[in-house]
């Protein structure tokens, strides 16, 4: 009984000590994930919407725009108390505390993904064309918004004004 | 010896037996963990006749792979889709969805190190998968699966291979949930 009680005591101490024994996190890799923003365009006059030399329809229109966001894969080496506390406690008790000093060695990699808010291919160039109106070029950048609503107005052609 | 000492000895014996049994099971079977996150909306469903295009997995680990984990994943994922009659073949006319996958973490690990110290020589495989609408390229949802084998002895040799298949199986389980939902809800 005394041995078991001592083992449990050591377990508790090791849990407290574990907080100090893990390594500092570092960026192991960076990958890109897809982000989609729904772009809703409305104009004062019905206009054709062109994206990258492709007519996608007439306003009012709504379409998805996809681009990439850099995500960091952050790795930290942790000890077994942090990754598998149940197994570590069981091993410590069953080994009568022999495992405890070894259990504090940070050995197992743990990861966390952190979006960087750095976007790639997020610039959208629109061209709006309406009869009797000057073509309108509109450039904007999406930064992870679920939806962007654009209310645009096209200028009448000089001839038409007269 | 007093009765108390005998009792203590008996207890130690019992504990030791339990430890040996428990340790043997773990050493044989290997012990790992799973982390899984799914962001596929409830409303999404794969209807009958719809197929999934599976481009080859991209190695985004930032290093050369010590084992062809990407190929193991590709082959197994492809097999799982074929079994469900979901695999799209070029020119992918019937495909409505693209399953884009990225291997973001892979550690081959070492069974001997795992036997020496749990956590050391851990085998890790993490895949980030995205379901994209094939027509618009819009993101439908993302799934992330991380599998580890951190404890075990000789029988965890080759974990680096079956762990890639496990990740593929976990992803397909999530896709399975979306099969035939249109018929049942309609």
Q: What is the mean pLDDT of residues A67-80?
A: 92
Q: Give the pLDDT band (50/70/90) at residue A5.
A: low
pLDDT classification of A144: cutoffs 50, 70, 90:
very high
Give the best residue of A1, A3, A36, A86 to mutate against chain B (max B CB count within 10 A): A36
Chain B residue numbers touching A80 (CB-CB < 8 A) = 118-119, 150
* CB-based contact A111 B105, cutoff 8 Å: yes
- Model confidence at B185, pLDDT cuts 50, 70, 90, reads very low
pLDDT tens digits for range A104-136: 888 888 889 999 999 999 999 999 999 889 999
Of A4, A28, A79, the CB nearest to B62: A28
Residues in CB range of B89: below 8 A, 6 or more apart = none
pLDDT at residue B183, rounded to an integer: 44
Size of interface A-B (CB pairs under 8 A): 102
Closest-CA distance of chain A to residue B100, Å: 10
Cite the beta strand spans of B5-86 per DSSP E.
31-38, 51-53, 58-59
Question: A84-119: string of b/e by CB count within 10 Å (b at 16+)?
Answer: beebbbbbbbbbbbebbebbbebbbbbbebeeeeeb
**Mean of per-residue pLDDT scores for chain A:** 85
- The pLDDT tens digits for B82-117 are 999 898 888 878 788 999 999 999 999 888 888 888
Minimal CA separation from B119 to chain A, in Å: 4
State percent of chain B over pLDDT 90.
Answer: 40
- What's the CATH number of domain B31-185, 1.10.3470, 3.40.50, 3.30.160, 2.60.40? 3.30.160
Sort out which chain B residues have CB atoms less than 8 A from A91's CB and list them. 118
* Rg of chain A taking only CA atoms, in angstroms: 30
pLDDT digits (tens, 9 = 90+) for B25-62: 555 555 677 888 888 888 888 888 889 999 999 999 98
Report percent pLDDT > 90 for chain A.
Answer: 48
Instruction: Chain B: give the shortest CA distance to residue A97, in Å.
Output: 12
Calpha distance B135→B132 (Å, rounded) = 9
Q: Is the pLDDT of residue A100 over 60?
A: yes
Give pairs for B174-181: CB < 8 Å, separation 24+. B174/B38, B174/B40, B174/B143, B175/B46, B175/B52, B175/B84, B175/B86, B175/B99, B176/B84, B178/B40, B178/B44, B178/B45, B178/B46, B179/B45, B179/B46, B179/B84, B179/B86, B180/B45, B180/B46, B180/B47, B180/B48, B181/B45, B181/B46
Q: Binning pLDDT at 50, 70 and 90, where does residue B186 land?
A: very low
Answer for the pair A57, A49: CB distance below 8 angstroms, yes or no. Answer: yes
pLDDT of res. A160: 55
Cα separation, B148 vs A109, whole angstroms? 10
Better-predicted residue by pLDDT, B14 or A68:
A68
- Judge: B105–A73 Cβ closer than 8 Å, yes or no: yes
Instruction: Give A-chain residues touching B125 at CB under 8 angstroms.
Output: none
The answer, yes or no, to whether ipTM is higher than 0.90 is no
Span of A37-46, A77-86, B160-169 with lowest mean pLDDT: A77-86
Over residues A34-57, mean pLDDT = 92
**Which residues of chain B have a Cβ shorter than 8 Å from any chain A Cβ?**
8, 11-12, 15, 18-19, 22-23, 26, 31, 33, 60-63, 100, 102, 104-105, 107, 117-122, 124, 126, 128, 130, 132-133, 136-139, 142, 144, 146, 148, 150-151
CA closest to B11 among chain A residues: A1
Determine which of A3, A18, A29 to mutate to test the interface with B (most B C-beta atoms within 10 Å). Answer: A29
Kindly report the average pLDDT of chain B as a whole number: 84
Instruction: Select, from the ranges A37-51, A76-90, B30-44, the one with the highest average predicted confidence (pLDDT).
Output: A37-51
* Confidence (pTM): 0.80
pLDDT score, position A45: 92
Contact between chains at A29 and B107 (C-beta distance less than 8 A): no
**Predicted pLDDT at B184:** 43
**pLDDT reading at B23 higher than 90:** no
Neighbours of A37 (CB within 10 A): 20
What is the mean predicted confidence (pLDDT) over A24-47? 92
Domain ranges of chain B: 31-185
User: Are A94 and B128 within 8 A, CB to CB?
Assistant: no
Tell me what percent of the residues of chain A surpass a pLDDT of 70: 83
Is residue B91 reached through a cis peptide bond, with omega within 30 degrees of 0 on the bond before it?
yes
């Amino acid at each position: 009984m005394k041995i078991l009680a001592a083992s449990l005591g050591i377990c508790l101490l090791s849990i407290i000590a574990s907080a100090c024994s893990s390594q500092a996190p570092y960026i192991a890799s960076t990958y890109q994930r897809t982000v989609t923003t729904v772009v809703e365009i409305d104009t004062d006059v019905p206009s054709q919407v062109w994206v990258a030399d492709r007519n996608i329809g007439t306003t009012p229109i709504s379409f998805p725009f996809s681009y990439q966001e850099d995500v960091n894969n952050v790795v930290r080496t942790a000890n077994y108390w942090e990754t598998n506390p149940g197994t570590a406690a069981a091993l410590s008790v069953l080994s009568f505390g022999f495992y405890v000093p070894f259990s504090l060695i940070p050995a197992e990699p743990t990861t966390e993904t952190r979006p960087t808010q750095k976007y790639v291919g997020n610039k959208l160039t629109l061209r709006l064309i309406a009869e009797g109106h000057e073509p309108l070029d509109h450039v904007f950048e999406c930064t992870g918004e679920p939806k962007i609503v654009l209310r645009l107005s096209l200028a009448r052609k000089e001839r038409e004004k007269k | 010896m007093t009765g108390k000492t005998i009792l203590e000895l008996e207890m130690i014996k019992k504990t030791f037996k339990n430890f040996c049994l428990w340790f043997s099971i773990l050493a044989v079977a290997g012990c790992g963990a799973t982390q899984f996150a799914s962001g596929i909306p409830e409303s999404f469903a794969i209807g009958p006749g719809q197929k999934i295009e599976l481009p080859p997995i991209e190695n985004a680990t930032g290093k050369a792979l010590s084992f062809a984990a990407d190929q193991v994943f590709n082959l197994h994922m492809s097999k799982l889709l074929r079994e469900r009659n979901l695999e799209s073949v070029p020119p992918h006319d019937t495909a409505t969805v693209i399953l884009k996958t990225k291997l973001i973490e892979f550690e081959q690990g070492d069974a001997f190190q795992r036997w020496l110290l749990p956590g050391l020589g851990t085998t890790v495989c993490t895949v980030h998968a995205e379901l994209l609408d094939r027509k618009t390229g819009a993101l439908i949802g993302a799934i992330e699966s991380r599998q580890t084998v951190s404890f075990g002895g000789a029988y965890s040799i080759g974990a680096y291979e079956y762990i890639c298949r496990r990740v593929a199986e976990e992803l397909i389980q999530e896709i399975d949930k979306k099969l035939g939902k249109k018929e049942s809800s309609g």
